[in-house]
Amino acid sequence: MAPVSPRVAEAIASVSRKDFVFSSDLTATVSGRSIPREDIVRHILGMVPEIEPAQVVMHVGGGAGYLAAVLAHLANRVFYVDKNPVVADAARERFFRLGITNVDIIAEDIRSGFALDEPCDVILATTFLAAPMALVTYVRDGGLLLAIEGKGGPVPSLAMYRREGGGFKRVRTLGWVDFNRNTEQILIDMGLVNEDDLVDARSEAIASNRRLLDVLHGRLKLEDGDLYRSLAKQRNMEFAAADELMERLDPHLFGRFSRTFLDLSRLIPLWQEEHRILVATDDPDARADQLERMSQGKSVTCLLVTPTDYRRLWSTLDLTEKGSQFVAESAPAQADHDDLSGDLLGAEDGKHISPYLVSVYESILLEAVSEKASDIHIEQYGERVRIRLRVDGDLHDLHQYQLTPRELRGVINVIKLRAELNIAERRLPQGGRSRLKLADTSYDLRIQTQPSLHGEHAIIRLLPQTGRAMTIAELGMSARIGEQYQRLLDNPAGLVLVVGPTGSGKSTTLYAGLQTLADDGRRKVISVEDPIEYSIDNVQQTRVRSDIGFNFADAMRAFVREDPDVIMVGEIRDKETALEAIRASQTGHVVLSTLHCNDAVDALQRLYDLGIHPNSIASELLAVIAQRLAKRICTHCREPATPDPAVLAELFPLGVPDNFRCFEGRGCHQCNGRGTQGRIAIVEFMQVDSDIRNAISSQPPIGEMRWRALDGGLVTMRDSALDHVLSGDIPLSELPRILPRERMAPEQRGGRRQSS
């Protein structure tokens, strides 16, 4: 690096680069050239002739203004030029705030021309010039142009020109200038980490033998897509999603390179075109020069993908090769045996399975994690194998896995071995669990195998174990219901029920209450669950062990002697558990639990059916929350929608309100074109007041009980759903899916129809 004079060193020291960082507002226009590192500014000013105090200087490609601010401490006057008016305005504000008054801002493209009131002695261009001759008129005769050259190469050079007459004469190349910032510097510039964070992260990375970016990513708690899309912009790389790349993968190209070399380089060759090879990487700082030298004159273009997508691409290409080997190795066996009912077990102890089948299973798990799936369904129908993921409540096929029935039996054996199930037992359903660790997240896998007409099926539920659940504020409930739920937890005693069918998010709502209590820390919280779905710090969680005679009721009897404030019972399944829940409430505890039923009022009938005395229910029940899950509109592509007339006719039989509106998602890369991303709870909320207590004690018919609940302020699921439609949270098309036909129209209160 070229040395600098004491005067230049003082000018650099006088300007803090941090004052010019755009923080989280960095865009693709703010690159390493527009906010160069301090060492690069030092390198440039060490190569060029020293700026004299009386000189006039122009900086083309001013960007954030950092280099122009340093020049302002060296020259009498500086013209800052940048064609992006937004970037130029931001630089103007920084100069004003820092008291730098000898910089003139010009937000123009040099090709369009602009007027100066005096010529420049030196023009420094840190952006590539399409028409350098356009700058001739701005330089005095004998003045200098210092310009970046070599746009085609990875590192440009800085060249010096002198004005002679009406043109520029090239004097010499001054040296190379590497404007690239590594990932650490980009994250600092984006305001996501500071130097102290980096020191801690480096120490953790060394201790855990992990990449620094992986450690930082785990600490930042950012969505993969958002972080890596930003990094791609900053490194001038193209960001890509695995789904966009899958159809063009070339396994033969992947097979030409050493796996060890590719793994160490963090590169995956995808396919080749006439003059270049496309590769994927999850490392923004990855170097492809060695791969380029091995590619017979073809250039290499790197696409940045998320770590999960990197694993998916690697797994897909690796599977293709292993699958070809597997088919070749198993072909003689298939020719010798007409019966293909073998287990694909290579050892007599039944514990060895083809690595290919293990890779298939792990690849399916990666796909599920990438898609944020809640469940995996692996099924066989005759000779057809079907693998599906449940994402946001809907199942969709993974068409890239074309397994034979024989391969499927091997994959199910892999699943059984991982879950410690009996691989020889195919006649009875089996249930087990295993774990998956991916980056910083662990997943609890709940596995169920089920015999069917054509063979065994497997269903796998994925539960992320983060040590933290959503809070009430993060559930997406309306503010009013969220406040009421919070108030219920603050009661000294009572029973709160969350009800709904399987898969309606009951446990998530209960866990949100537990997480809120755990964050508060003033009350002791105990839970008994079957199974424990999410591990929550600061909550004492116990699992039911029916195999040794420890059930919900046993746990409840033990809990009341442990001085808890709040007890969560995973589910009230029988009279014994219901009675113990009521007794715990009577002895001064808040009890939270779930029931399987359709709505808030039906929960009362369910308790009656379990044999609980109406007076006990009336005295202890605080509230019932019934819910369903609806798809949430993707916030990145949400737009106004035209409502379906058929749905409107059901919702508003007396006429559609004038102010009615609805939204939908048009589909984008954030939601994989679905238009929805995630789900939200649609809640029916029944607060038990004195009138409802009296009604519960008298045990009226369920229809009359609902009328009384409506008169008592029952917030219906229809009301909640419409609120979410109007606020743009869910599409109108979700309402017929979550509301029965008789609940689409306004319900009657005490025999009178509600207003719409």
Beta bridge partners of 158: 148, 175
Provide the pLDDT for residue 99: 94
* Residue 22, pLDDT score: 56
- What mean pLDDT do residues 659-665 have? 90
Beta-bridge partners for 396: 389
> In this predicted structure, what is the pLDDT of residue 213?
81
Q: What pLDDT does 30 receive?
A: 47
Q: Which residues of 628-647 are buried (b: 16+ CB within 10 A; e: fewer)?
A: bbbbbbbeebbeebebbeeb
pLDDT in tens, 223-256: 777 788 888 887 778 898 887 888 788 888 888 8
**What is the rounded average pLDDT of the residues 70-74?**
95
DSSP sequence for 355-389 = HHHHHHHHHHHHHHHHTT-SEEEEEEETTEEEEEE
Question: Are 652 and 755 in contact, with CB atoms under 8 Å apart?
Answer: no
Hey, what are 715's tokens?
């917030």
User: What are the residues facing 376 on neighbouring strands?
Assistant: 389, 460
d(CA 565, CA 584): 10
Integer-rounded Cα Rg, in Å, for the chain is: 33
Tokens coding 561: 């002697």
Residues 249-274 pLDDT 10s = 888 888 888 888 888 888 999 998 88
pTM comes to: 0.62
Three-state DSSP string of 42-100: HHHHHHCCCCCCCCEEEEECCCCCHHHHHHHCCCCEEEEECCCHHHHHHHHHHHHHCCC
State yes or no: pLDDT of 98 exceeds 90.
yes
Query: What is the reported pLDDT for 107?
Result: 92
| pLDDT band with cut points at 50, 70 and 90 for residue 332 | very low
Cα 303 from Cα 433, distance rounded (Å): 37
Question: How do residues 102-114 score in pLDDT, each as one tens digit?
Answer: 999 999 988 888 8
User: Can you give the pLDDT at residue 468?
Assistant: 67
pLDDT score for 308 = 82
342 has a pLDDT exceeding 50: no
- Contacts of 39-42 spanning 24+ positions with Cβ under 8 A: 39/1, 40/177, 40/178, 40/179, 41/12, 41/66, 41/67, 41/70, 42/1, 42/4, 42/8, 42/9, 42/12
653: tokens are 């039989």
Q: Would you give the distance in Å from CA 261 to the centre of its chain?
A: 30
pLDDT confidence band for 294 (50 / 70 / 90): confident
Residue 514, pLDDT > 90, answer no
Q: What is the pLDDT of residues 631-658, one digit of tens each?
A: 999 988 999 999 999 999 999 988 888 8
Rounded to the nearest 5 degrees, what angle is found at the Cα of 206, between the Cα atoms of 204 and 208? 65
Residue 23 has pLDDT above 50, yes or no: no
Q: Does residue 339 have a pLDDT over 60? A: no
pLDDT at 333: 46
The pLDDT of residue 102 is 95
- Predicted pLDDT at 321: 61
Q: What is the pLDDT of residue 439?
A: 65
Q: Are 133 and 67 in contact (CB under 8 A)?
A: no
Q: Is the pLDDT of residue 335 over 60?
A: no
Confidence tier at 591 by pLDDT (50, 70, 90): very high
- What integer pLDDT is reported at residue 29 of this predicted model? 43
* Section 134-153 average pLDDT: 86
DSSP annotation of 149 reads E
In total, the chain counts a number of residues equal to: 756
| Percent of the chain topping pLDDT 70 | 91
Higher pLDDT, 138 or 228: 138
Q: Which amino acid is at 384?
A: R
Domains of the chain: 6-176 (3.40.50.150), 182-222 (no CATH), 224-324 (3.30.300.160), 355-465 (3.30.450.90), 472-634+679-741 (3.40.50.300)
Q: Looking at the predicted structure, is the pLDDT value of residue 328 above 70?
A: no
| Whole-number pLDDT of residue 623 | 93
CA distance 514 to 485: 12
Examine the pLDDT at 489 and tell me if it is beyond 50: yes
Is the pLDDT confidence value at 337 over 50? no
Long-range contacts of 560-565 (CB under 8 A, 24+ apart): 560/584, 560/587, 560/589, 562/524, 562/526, 563/524, 564/524, 564/525, 564/526, 564/540, 564/589, 565/523, 565/524, 565/525, 565/589, 565/590
Confidence of residue 26 (pLDDT cuts 50, 70, 90): very low
- Residue 324, pLDDT > 60, answer no
Say if CB 260 and CB 326 are below 8 A apart: no
Q: What is the arithmetic mean of pLDDT over 737-751?
A: 78
Instruction: Give the model confidence (pLDDT) of 153-176 as tens digits.
Output: 567 889 999 999 889 999 999 988
More confident residue, 612 or 534: 612
Q: Which of 517, 508, 446, 426 is nearest to 475 (CA)?
A: 508
Question: Does residue 122 surpass a pLDDT of 90?
Answer: yes
Task: Work out the mean pLDDT of the chain and round it to a whole number.
Answer: 84
**Mean pLDDT computed over 590-609:** 90
The pair of structure tokens assigned to 349 is: 């102890």
Predicted local distance difference test score (pLDDT) of residue 264: 85
- How large is the average pLDDT for residues 311-320? 79
Which pLDDT belongs to residue 748?
64
pLDDT tens-digit series, residues 528-567: 888 777 778 888 888 888 778 788 888 888 888 888 889 8
599 phi and psi angles, rounded to 5 deg = -150, 180
pLDDT tops 80 at residue 467: no
DSSP per-residue string spanning 478-519: -HHHHHHHHHHHTSSSEEEEEE-STTSSHHHHHHHHHHHHHH
- Please give the C-alpha separations between residue 730 and each of 99, 151, 372, 667, 682, in angstroms, as whole numbers: 50, 48, 19, 14, 10
Lowest mean pLDDT across 308-312, 331-335, 625-629: 331-335
Rounded distance between C-alpha atoms, residue 5 and residue 403, angstroms: 70
Stronger pLDDT, 348 or 499, i.e. the higher one:
499
